[in-house]
Amino acid sequence: MDFSALLGLNALFVVVVVAFLVAVLLLQRRKLKLNLAENNSVLESSRRIYQIILEDLDFHTLVQKIADIIPNELQFGTGVLAILDEERGVIKRIAASHTREAQEAIKALSVPFEKIEISVTDPNNLMARALREHKSFTTTDVYDVLGPVLSKEEAGKIQSIMSTKTTVVYPIFLRSKPLGVFIASTKKEQNKLSSYELQIIDNFANIMGLMLQNSKLYSSLKSTTEQLQKANEKLKELDRLKDDFVSVASHELRTPMTAIRSYSWMALNRPDITLSDKMKKYLSRTLISTERLINLVNDMLNVSRIEAGRIEIRPQIFDIGILVDDIMAEVTPKANEKMVQLEVEKVKLPKVFADPDKVHQVLLNLIGNSLKFTPTDGLIKVNFFSDGKVVEIKVSDNGVGISKEDLSRLFQKFGRLDNSYVAAATSGGTGLGLFISKSLVELMHGTIKASSEGVGKGSTFTFSLPIATPEIVAASEQYTKRPVGEAKVLEPVAI
Amino acid sequence: MADNAGKKILIVEDDQFLRDFYQELLTSEGYVIDSAADGEIALAKIRQGGFDLVLLDIMLPKKDGLHILQDLKVQGPSKPNGQIVVLTNLGHDTVINQAFTLGASGYLIKSALNPDQVLTEIKNFLQKPNG
């Protein structure tokens, strides 16, 4: 071999070696690239899977998504989710992927899909074993996951419809608590499953427990909410029935009371009837007591409506002075009858922002009270005060007054005072008027208070209402109260 | 009393004591009174017509006051009537609102009024033009 030949051979060798090295390097690079791509896909798939936990909590939707994940991500023919029914000790299929293979297999089943229940104690079924042994299995025969509910022959038929060669079986656990089993089948041979595919399934199996648990909690929360809603509907219905009952009962009560009231009034007032003094006294007591009974029914209806939130507050801008004048005109006959003098302060007032009907009710109640507790020749005064934010309306009299200890319970229901019982009995009071007034004033963002120098020294009731400033009118929504259910009007105040 | 004389009022009231009472009260004031104790009789009488005022109870046997008002919308009276005023002990808001929509022109809560007040109200309704 001459030198040149040797050189040529050498050169050839070098070329071959270099070419080999280049080829190895290129292959290596491709492999690296492939690995990167695979890793990337694993991450992508995992991201999509994890997202499901966040996005959908409805149990029904979630189990369907779980069944569809592996077919979607890895082009598996079928995905099936089964959950453990602990009470009955069976593994129950609850969702199958929306793939053609799965749907056709389900159609061909002799037993309905959701009736394929596998006993957890079954010695051979891989679903049962996966749960018991806490590990995953891979099989080439779907009978391993369908038997013994389906026969070997039927399982074979199903497998040929699905045309799958490999089935993976994964138990689903959450903190060592068995929840169910996931099965997925593919056309690929077992040894053709890439590490990438196995990694995705593995990742998925690890978080399925968490997914199921979340949605189960959510489902039970949802069913509790539904139960509460039903209970609420029922209560509303009962409330409506109660309303009907109260309204019918009060109607039924008022009919005979009206007859007593009317006939005793007639007996007392017909000019063609002469009565002894005793008869007059008896009849007038009958009349007063009946009026009181009627007022009591009205006030109890009012209290129940206020407490049930049935009262609507619709604020308007109005002149409180004009309203007071109207009420004075209304009570003048009664005041004249009792020979009590009425006096209203004449002063220019800013307009208030309140519900005129409710203010009417309050004023009538306060002035009515003063009339009840002020003897003949007494005086009832209405004064006003304004600080730019509220108008205060002060109703004062020089009547029977209130003792210090009684002042504190004046605004409670039936908070009326023992020592004025006689006055109450002859006046037709109910013991609810001040409670109602306080409730109404407070619903209109006002305050109410009572004061008295003591028994025999008269009483003063003061309540406030917001002035209709632009700010307050702009915030009218805050001053409006919508009724709970159907709005109710208050029964009239009797004076 | 003179201007009351001859004015025809129909009292629709199922409670006998109250029916008798209003009849006596209004007759003594010179009104001419007819009465009905249930909803069907009431509807028939209102449809005959010719009343200056109808006092209509709401809770009635056979046909309640609201149904009477509804039926009157379908088939009115042969002779015109004056106003129909609901005379009730129901303080039920929706009922009263419904009565207004159905053509009642006022309402009186029986238990809230003494007989003299009832008379005043009736006089007022008779003087008002038929709305």
Q: Which residue has the tokens 């129901």?
A: B90
Q: Are strands A177-186 and A78-85 parallel, antiparallel or unpaired?
A: antiparallel
Sort out which chain A residues have CB atoms less than 8 A from B88's CB and list them. Answer: 251
Sort out which chain B residues have CB atoms less than 8 A from A488's CB and list them. Answer: 93
The length of chain A in residues reads 495
Q: Do B111 and A269 touch (CB under 8 A)?
A: no
Whether B12 is in a domain gets the answer: yes
Whether B33 is in a domain gets the answer: yes
pLDDT value of position B109: 86
pLDDT value of position A120: 86
Q: How confident is the model at residue B92 (pLDDT cuts 50, 70, 90)?
A: low
A433-442: pLDDT as tens digits = 899 999 999 9
If you average pLDDT over residues B77-83, what whole number do you get? Answer: 89
Q: Which residues of chain A have pLDDT under 50?
A: 1, 421-422
Environment class of A337 (CB within 10 Å of its CB; exposed 0-12, middle 13-18, buried 19+): exposed
Q: How confident is the model at residue B129 (pLDDT cuts 50, 70, 90)?
A: low
Give the chain A residue whose CA is nearest to the CA of B14: A255
Q: Do A258 and B116 touch (CB under 8 A)?
A: no
Q: Do A254 and B89 touch (CB under 8 A)?
A: yes
> Out of B25, B90, B93, whose CB is closest to A251?
B90
Q: Do A259 and B21 touch (CB under 8 A)?
A: yes
Whether B16 is in a domain gets the answer: yes
For an interface test with B, the pick among A254, A264, A303 (most B C-beta atoms closer than 10 Å) comes out as A254
pLDDT value of position A327: 93
Could you state, in order of their start, the residue ranges of all structural domains in chain A?
Answer: 40-221, 311-479
A298-318: pLDDT as tens digits = 888 888 888 888 889 999 999
- And the tokens for B51? 């009343």
CATH code, domain with B61? 3.40.50.2300
Q: What is the domain extent for residue B52? A: 8-126
Pairwise pLDDT comparison (B96 vs A314), residue with the higher score: A314
Strands (E), chain B: 8-12, 32-36, 53-56, 83-88, 106-109
Sort out which chain B residues have CB atoms less than 8 A from A251's CB and list them. Answer: 59, 88-90
For an interface test with A, the pick among B29, B111, B121 (most A C-beta atoms closer than 10 Å) comes out as B111
If you average pLDDT over residues B114-122, what whole number do you get? Answer: 90
Helix (H) or strand (E) holding A82: strand A78-85
- And the tokens for A195? 């590490």
Q: How many angstroms separate the CA atoms of A167 and A162, rounded? A: 11
CATH superfamily of A40-221: GAF domain (3.30.450.40)
Q: Do A269 and B115 touch (CB under 8 A)?
A: yes
pLDDT value of position B1: 47
Q: According to the CATH classification, is domain A311-479 in 3.30.565.10?
A: yes
> Peptide bond before A148: cis, by omega within 30 degrees of 0?
yes
pLDDT value of position B10: 96
> Out of A254, A263, A265, whose CB is closest to B111?
A254
Complex confidence, ipTM:
0.86
